[in-house]
Amino acid sequence: MVLQIAFAFFLDILIGDPSWFPHPVKGIGRLIKLMEPLFYKPYFNLKVTGVFLVLIVVGISWAGGFFTLGFIKEKSGWIGFFLESFLIFTCLSINDLAKHAKKVYQALRQGDINLARKRVGEMVGRDTEDLSESEILRATVESVAENSVDGVISPLFYAFLGGAPLALAYKAINTLDSMVGYKSERYLYFGWFSAKLDDLANFLPARISALLIPLVAFLLMRKGKGSLRIILRDGKKSPSPNAGIPEAGFAGALGIRLGGANFYQGKRENRPFIGDNLRKIRREDVILAVRLMQVLSFICLLVFCVLYLWGVWLV
C-alpha cells in the first residue's frame, strides 16, 4: 500500500489533474447531480432523504473502487497496482491547489483585480465580485489552509486506512458537502447529514494538521511557536469544527490575521478573527502559504509511511 500511495502522491505533484483527464471524483459529482432530483422531494422529510442520498453516493463510490480493484488484481497484480495508484492520485489536490492559488497571485501582480476575483471564486464558496485585494489574499490563504486538510491530509489518511476504495468514499463525502452541505434555504435540511459526515470524516485529519503545521513552519523558518500558539488559542473559533485548525496554523506561521466578514449569496456573515494582526496581508503570503501546504503534504506522507511500516497504523 505504501508504494501505491507514494506513487500517487508524486504523480499528483508532477501533473496534477488536467481538465481533460477522466476523473472519478468528477464522476462522483455527476452522480450527485443525477441522484439529487430523485431524493429532493419537499413533501418528504428532507433530512431523511438527504441521509439516503449520502448512503447511496458514498456506498457506490466505495463499492465501485473495491470491486473493480478486486477484479483487476485477480487478473494482474501490476495493473491492479497502477489502477489503485491512479484512483488515489485522483483524490489528491496538491498540484491543483497550488496552481489555483498561484493564478490568483499572478493576476494581482498583473494588476488585474477582476481576474483575481474570478480566480479566487474558483477556490472559495463566498461571493468574490466586490472583494478588495486584501480580501482576495485572505480568501486565497484561507482556502489553501483549509484544503491542506480536505485535499491532502484526509485523502492520504483514508488511503492508508483503507486503500483507494476508502479514499474514494472520503472524496464522495467531501463532494457531497461541497454540493449540498450549504446552510441555504434549499439545503438546510437536505444537506445536513452531508455536512455533519464531512465534519466527522475530517475530525482526526484536522487534528493531525495541528501537530504537523507548526513543525513544517519551524522547518521553513517561519513562526513555528506562533503557529502552535494560534492553533491552541484560535483553532476552535471557526463555525466549522475543523477548518479553524489549519487556518489558525497558517495564520500563526505567517504572522497574519484571517477571518472577518464574508458574503454568501449576498448575505453578510461575520467570521471570528484568527491570528494576530501583526501586519497587513501581502501578495507574497499566497506563495508562502502554498509552500507551507506543499511541505506539509510531504511531511504528512512521510509520517504516515513510517507509522504504517512500523505497524502502528489504525489497522
Each residue's pLDDT tens digit, 141-187: 999 999 999 999 999 999 999 999 999 999 999 999 989 987 777 88
Q: Provide the pLDDT for residue 20.
A: 67
Residues 216-232: pLDDT tens digits?
999 998 888 999 999 99
Do residues 3 and 28 make contact, with C-beta atoms less than 8 angstroms apart?
Answer: no
Listed range (67-71, 93-97, 178-182) with the worst mean pLDDT: 178-182
Residue 314: pLDDT band (50, 70, 90) is: very low
Half-sphere exposure (Cβ direction) of 110: Cα atoms closer than 13 Å: 12
Residue 240 predicted with pLDDT over 90: no
> How many CB atoms are located within 10 Å of the residue 221 CB?
7
Residue 315: pLDDT band (50, 70, 90) is: very low
Helix, strand, or coil (residue 260): strand
By the 10 Å C-beta count (0-12 exposed, 13-18 middle, 19+ buried), 297 is classed as: buried
Q: Provide the pLDDT for residue 188.
A: 85
Sign of CA dihedral 113, 264, 55, 308: positive
Percent of the chain with pLDDT strictly greater than 90? 73
Q: What is the mean pLDDT of residues 263-292?
A: 91
Q: What is the DSSP letter of 201?
A: H
Q: What is the mean pLDDT of residues 124-131?
A: 89
Residue 125 predicted with pLDDT over 70: yes
Q: What is the pTM of this model?
A: 0.93
3-state DSSP: the chain helix, strand, coil percent, rounded to 5?
A: 70, 5, 25
Do residues 62 and 166 make contact, with C-beta atoms less than 8 angstroms apart?
Answer: yes
Do residues 161 and 314 make contact, with C-beta atoms less than 8 angstroms apart?
Answer: yes
Q: Kindly provide the b/e burial profile for residues 130-154, where b requires at least 16 CB atoms within 10 angstroms of the residue's own CB.
A: ebeeebbbbbbbbbbbbbbbbbbbb
Do residues 303 and 156 make contact, with C-beta atoms less than 8 angstroms apart?
Answer: no
Residues 1-43: pLDDT tens digits?
889 999 999 999 988 877 666 678 888 989 999 999 999 988 7
Q: What is the mean pLDDT of residues 111-119?
A: 94
